[in-house]
Each structure stands twice: as C-alpha cells, then as structure tokens.
A = this chain, B = another copy of it.
Amino acid sequence: MPSGTESRRVTIHDVARAAGVSRQTVSRALNDKGEIDDSTKQRVLDAALALGYRPSRFARGLVRQDTVSVGLVIPDLLNPFFTEVAAAALEAARARGWHVLVYDTADSAPEELGTLQVIASQVDAVVGYFSRPEGEIEQLTRGLPVVLIDREDDAERFSSIRIDGRDGVKAAMSHLVEAGHRRIGMLDHATRAEPSVRHAWFADALAACGLAAGPVCRADQSVEGGESALESLLADHPDVTAVFTFNDIIAIGALHGARRIARRVPQDLAVIGFDGVRLGTLVEPQLSTVALDIRGLGALAVEQAARLLTGSGPLGPDDLVARAELRLRGTT
C-alpha cells in the first residue's frame, strides 16, 4: 500500500517556519496589512504559494466573526417559479454580502428533514419552503432564524411570507365572468389532501360574481400534471369554458392538454394561471395569470432574515405579504 503521501493540512505555522518568520507576520502578509517589510512580505507569499497554503475558513471565521451564510431551501429548483424565487433571493443576499447555501428538497419530506438537520449547523439563518409542521421545524432549527415562504397554514412560531392573491383572483374571475363565462373550473394542486388557499380565493371570487364554484381537478405541479388534469376535467365537465389553475406550470400543462383535445385557447377555453413566471410569456398564446412580484418576494424573505439576524425590528405579518395582480395576456 502506498504511504508517505498522508498530506496533512498546510497551516499558517508551516508557512511561518518555511519563511523563517512568526505566524503573525504570515497573517500580515496574507491579509495585506501594513506594518510589514516588503521583502519579508514577498518571502512569506512565496513560501505560502510554494507550500500550497490556504487559510482554514473555520479558523478564520472563528476569530473574525463576520461572514453571514443563509440556507435557501427550495422544493424543486427546476420548477420555474422556484427558480425565480431562488434567483431573487440570491440577488438580495449578494447585495448584503451574504453567502447562500442552496438545498433542493425534491418535494420530499425526508429530504426536507434531512436538509433541516444538516443545515442548522451550517448557516446563520434559513429561508425557504417547508411542508413539515412548525414544531418539527423548530426542533431541528433550534432558535435559528427561519423565514418561511407561502406557508398555507398560518405560521405562528416563524416569520412567514404570506402570498395574498385574493384580490388578484377576484379580478381574474370578474374578468372571465364579464367575458361571458359561466362555468369556470379549477386545476388545484395535488401536493396536500386539502384544497389550497388559492382554491378558496377562487370559490369566494365566483360567489362574489353570483356563480357557484366550478368543478375542480387536482393536478401534479408539472406540465404533465396540468395536461392530464385538464383533460379529465373537461371529460367530466365539457361545459367548462374557462379554467383557473393553482400555478403557471399547471396552466401551461393545461394549454397542452387543450391542444390535444382540440380545444382552441382562448376561443373555446380561457386559461388563467397563478405566479407570473417568465415562462408564461414564452408560450403561444401567452399566458394570462395572476402575477406575483417574485423578485420582491425573494427580497422580502431575505430582508426579514436580516432583521431576525440582527434583532432589529423584524417585520410583522402585515408587512410580510406578497400581493398578486391580474395580468391579462393571450389565453383569455
């Protein structure tokens, strides 16, 4: 067996010895402090380079207590909505000089728990999407600042960015009704057993228009999910002329489904999504949607994390809201 290759870490001490100086001098040279002779500095730098020395981030972090890292937890980075949230959070964090550790929990509870477990010892705060009960999260994060996003059950122990699409959805439904639609269905998510909050907005909005809530079909949060959900919705309820969906991905799936069963959009079927992802402008016809300010959402989450971190007046529930507004495009 090969031996003697046992490469111990090169420490500041090794560099000091190699350069014939003290560790402090090495530190000075490497950190561009003044108070050091140019020639010694060069000698130290050379030695460091020769030895392949790199300071330990832990040792440095220990004494310099600066650097902030936050964990960003996302259910599925490939879902364009979450991609945009992540990009927004990354941007907001960068503006603060923070580092962001990203975790994709693949929409799975075990992965979520595993992430939570390991994250707690790696970051100064956590921002993101969690499906587990608050108590469980609390236990694993132990006093770590946590900012939840779009928690459907009211968050009590944690800050949570709430998404308020009530008015947006109402505007959307009003628009459809004014356009003559009387039978409006919904493609809800299938992540949890209960209907989503968005479904409640949908039902309330229709009631306000004097219509009964239309039929609902549950869809996987993917294009395929939306596609097949639309087909079965229309198979069961051929009289439906407009569909509101839990999110834009499902809506885009619905567009595909409509094409498959030869329903023209928007002539035979109107479609309105939710979220306002860029992708909605890339399909043809462009997707009408109840749009969120996604960048604002990400920035808000990071800001709250910052406030929690410094203890400087965290925002209250009333400020932790992302509102949505109707954006009419080609599918209505």
Interface stretch (choices A14-22, A55-63, A146-154, A202-210): A55-63
User: Can you list, as one digit per residue, whether each of A266-303 has a CB less than 8 Å from chain B (1) or not (0)?
Assistant: 00000000000011001110000000000000000000
A78 contacts B by Cβ under 8 Å: yes
Closest Cβ–Cβ distance, residue A220 to chain B (whole Å): 15
Interface stretch (choices A81-89, A164-172, A239-247, A318-326): A81-89
A7 and B311 contact, CB distance less than 8 A? yes
Which residues does chain B contribute within 8 Å of A284, judged by CB atoms?
A: 259, 283-284
Expressed in whole angstroms, the Cα–Cα distance for A150 and B158 within the complex equals 42
Q: Using known A-B contacts A59-B62, A62-B58, determine if residue A101 contacts B104 with beta carbons closer than 8 Å.
A: no
A223 contacts B by Cβ under 8 Å: yes
A104 and B121 contact, CB distance less than 8 A? no
Expressed in whole angstroms, the Cα–Cα distance for A86 and B77 within the complex equals 8
A94 and B99 contact, CB distance less than 8 A? no
Expressed in whole angstroms, the Cα–Cα distance for A94 and B118 within the complex equals 11
Expressed in whole angstroms, the Cα–Cα distance for A238 and B319 within the complex equals 55
Which residues does chain B contribute within 8 Å of A103, judged by CB atoms?
A: 90, 94, 100
Which residues does chain B contribute within 8 Å of A3, judged by CB atoms?
A: none
Which residues does chain B contribute within 8 Å of A282, judged by CB atoms?
A: 223, 252, 256, 279, 282-283
Which residues does chain B contribute within 8 Å of A65, judged by CB atoms?
A: 9
A42 contacts B by Cβ under 8 Å: no
Q: How many positions in chain A have a CB within 8 Å of any CB in the partner chain?
A: 53
Give A77's nearest chain B residue, CB to CB. B87
A107 contacts B by Cβ under 8 Å: no
A52 contacts B by Cβ under 8 Å: yes
A102 contacts B by Cβ under 8 Å: yes
Closest Cβ–Cβ distance, residue A64 to chain B (whole Å): 9
Give residues 96-124 of A contacting B (CB, 8 Å).
97, 99-104, 118, 120-123
B102 and A102 contact, CB distance less than 8 A? yes
Expressed in whole angstroms, the Cα–Cα distance for A284 and B83 within the complex equals 22
Which residues does chain B contribute within 8 Å of A122, judged by CB atoms?
A: 57, 67, 69, 99
Which residues does chain B contribute within 8 Å of A104, judged by CB atoms?
A: 87, 90-91, 94
Binding site for B on A (CB under 8 A): 5, 7, 9, 49, 52-62, 65, 67, 69, 77-78, 80, 83-84, 86-87, 90-91, 94, 97, 99-104, 118, 120-123, 142-144, 223, 252, 256, 259, 278-279, 282-284, 311
Between A and B, 26 residue pairs with Cβ closer than 8 Å are: A7-B311, A52-B143, A54-B120, A54-B142, A54-B143, A54-B144, A55-B121, A56-B62, A57-B58, A57-B121, A57-B122, A58-B62, A61-B61, A62-B62, A90-B104, A94-B103, A99-B118, A99-B122, A100-B101, A100-B103, A101-B101, A101-B102, A223-B282, A252-B282, A256-B282, A259-B284
